[in-house]
Chains A and B, each alone.
Chain A
Amino acid sequence: MKDFKRVPVPTLERLDQYPLGSSCKSFHITDMNAGWRVFKPVIDKDKCVACYRCYLVCPDGAIHQSEDGKFEIDYDYCKGCGICANECKVKVIEMVKEAK
């Protein structure tokens, strides 16, 4: 589990694993947004200059810096809006149609 996700996805197999009442733990995220995408952003890591721009402008926070200093995308939570590709200063993010 990557540390930026903070918590593992909670298991919801039995009824008593669901939060009760009108409150629940913070960061209780049980499902993904991956199915929203029509186009998927792909970063060309060799050409990425690590300018932090895509990380800054991502509304979902789905882009993060990996250990080699370059940026990578969490495809579980990327919605494919295309802001990163549009804002990339060196234009190395390509929007690729999702294969069925």
Chain B
Amino acid sequence: MSQPVKINARTITKDEYFYGHKACGGCGESLALRLALKVIGEDAYLSLPAGCMAAVSFIYPNMAFKQNAIITPFASTAAVATGVAAGLKALNKNKLSVGFAGDGGTADIGIQALSGAIDRGEKFIYICTDNEAYMNTGIQKSGLTPFGASTTTTPAGKVIRGNVKPKKNMFEIVAAHGIAYAATASVGYLEDFMMKVQKAKEANGPAYIHVFSPCPTGWGHESDKTIEIAKEVVDNGLWYLAEFENGKFKLNKTPKLDSDVRLYLNAQSRFKHLTDDDIREIEALREEKWERLIKEWS
């Protein structure tokens, strides 16, 4: 693979392709979408399921996208995106089809369509903007909600301390298909994210990017702390930056595993009920995860 061109704030296009949308102030997901579109370019075809990003951009008579975009049924983002890709191929148009879905639309409802699309090997990009719950419908737990997070369907009480299960391992599920390119990213490391979108664009087959994007409304943090939180979660090892390319995993960043996770957790009201025991459990989960990641991937 050729060396990717250096991508940063100065080299990306000055044109905005996602403008005037109605996402909450400080929305990490809309930032991920905005920058991904700048890298992908103007003549791509977008497919979005009924999630936040569709709800904030297709408000009649508004249309916040520059690119062609379509709202898909919730379960079929990847099916529609590969269908569009097949249509473009039939018309001899050398253009890109991109699917954008949230964590629920990827890891729960849309996983079957995504699995099928990757299996067919069609050239398309799938970007999962992970805000760790169904935010659009009112903060219900999804398969990617982390351990201990309080949501409206896993409320924290005296007996149950928020969500009882850790996050589903979506990145490795996708990589297990033998996908051409897969990566995890975070809006705390935007240059890294844009570089991965560029790699996905150049990949010879399906590509998947899982981007961690904080939600001030659902997580209960200050709207100006979005980037800080997304950076902190990578630095303390609760989220990771990795790539899967040519059948091999690669870690992009080694976190400080002895750092205090409280800095991250205390900034968000969804974790405010956690006791010291719960936090020790979160730290134990982190340790267990990284022991495996370092052993297998580096």
Report if A and B associate in a common complex: yes
| Contacts from A to B (Cβ < 8 Å) | 4-6, 10, 12, 18-19, 24-33, 36, 52-53, 55-61, 64-65, 77, 79-83, 85-87
Chain B residue at smallest Cβ distance from A10: B61
Cα of A28 to Cα of B68 in the assembled complex, Å: 12
Cα of A83 to Cα of B225 in the assembled complex, Å: 7
Tell which of B7-15, B78-86, B234-242 binds the partner: B7-15
* Given A4-B15, A55-B9, A57-B190, residue A86 in contact with residue B25 (CB < 8 A): no
| B residues near A12, Cβ cutoff 8 Å | 61
Contact present for B20 and A29 (CB under 8 Å): yes
Cα of A82 to Cα of B226 in the assembled complex, Å: 10
Interface centre among B8, B20, B31, B216 (most CB of A within 10 A): B20
Contact present for A24 and B223 (CB under 8 Å): no
Cα of A65 to Cα of B31 in the assembled complex, Å: 18
| A residues near B16, Cβ cutoff 8 Å | 4-6, 61, 64
| A residues near B15, Cβ cutoff 8 Å | 4, 6
Cα of A60 to Cα of B20 in the assembled complex, Å: 7
CB-contacts of B31-55 with A (<8 A): 31, 34-35
| A residues near B24, Cβ cutoff 8 Å | 79
Contact present for B63 and A26 (CB under 8 Å): yes
Interface centre among A6, A18, A27 (most CB of B within 10 A): A27
Which of under 10, 10 to 19, 20 to 34, or 35 or more describes the interface residues of B?
35 or more
Known: A79-B26, A82-B223. 17 other contacts (CB 8 A): A4-B15, A6-B15, A19-B60, A19-B63, A24-B63, A26-B66, A27-B63, A29-B20, A29-B62, A56-B9, A60-B21, A80-B25, A81-B25, A81-B224, A82-B25, A82-B224, A87-B227
| Contacts from B to A (Cβ < 8 Å) | 8-10, 14-16, 18-28, 30-31, 34-35, 60-69, 190, 216, 222-228
| A residues near B60, Cβ cutoff 8 Å | 19, 24
Which of these, B26, B28, B69, B216, contacts A26 with CB under 8 Å? B69
Which of these, B10, B14, B223, contacts A81 with CB under 8 Å? B223
Contact present for B224 and A30 (CB under 8 Å): no
| A residues near B227, Cβ cutoff 8 Å | 57, 83, 86-87
Cα of A5 to Cα of B15 in the assembled complex, Å: 8
Which of these, B22, B31, B223, contacts A33 with CB under 8 Å? B22
